[in-house]
Amino acid sequence: MDTEFGLILLKMLKEIMKESRIFNKTKNITKTNTKMNYTLYLMSRLLVDYGTNINGISFESLPYDEQYYILPKIDTLFEKSGEDNREKSKYDCICAFLRKNKNIDTPDDYPMDDEKTSEERKGEAYIAHMEMEMGGEG
């Protein structure tokens, strides 16, 4: 294989892995034992009503099982926001939170943001090895 062509292929592979990780960000959510309750249900309906995006993806367009598993993390953000108070109804508090947060990024403590799968680590190690073998930069 031509070295220049090989380096181009490796660069393309790195981009594909990067794009795949961004696109599939919500698919690696750690499953939780959280049970649906009034607050989570209300939050789920209002996220749809407000057209809220989660990591750049419309909450409404996520499959239901992914919506369910991401809700506790969004609820945690809501609780930490200070919008939840006893002077207003839960509905009004969530609405105030969502008016300020049209685009919600996954919290830093989300495992899917910090941890790469073993396949990703192996792929990156292989690419780095091949680049070194071919004399390219990493």
Beta-carbon-side half-sphere exposure of residue 93 (alpha carbons within 13 Å): 18
CB 83, CB 101: distance < 8 Å? no
CB 106, CB 54: distance < 8 Å? yes
pLDDT at 96 over 90: yes
Mean pLDDT of 49-62: 90
pLDDT at 49 over 50: yes
Angle subtended by helix axes 64-81 and 38-49, to nearest 10: 100
Q: What's residue 119's pLDDT?
A: 62
Could you tell me the pLDDT band of residue 7, with boundaries at 50, 70 and 90?
Answer: confident
User: What residue type is 54 in one-letter code?
Assistant: I
Q: What share of the chain is helix, strand, coil (3-state, %, to 5)?
A: 65, 5, 30
pLDDT at 48 over 90: yes
Mean pLDDT of 108-130: 59
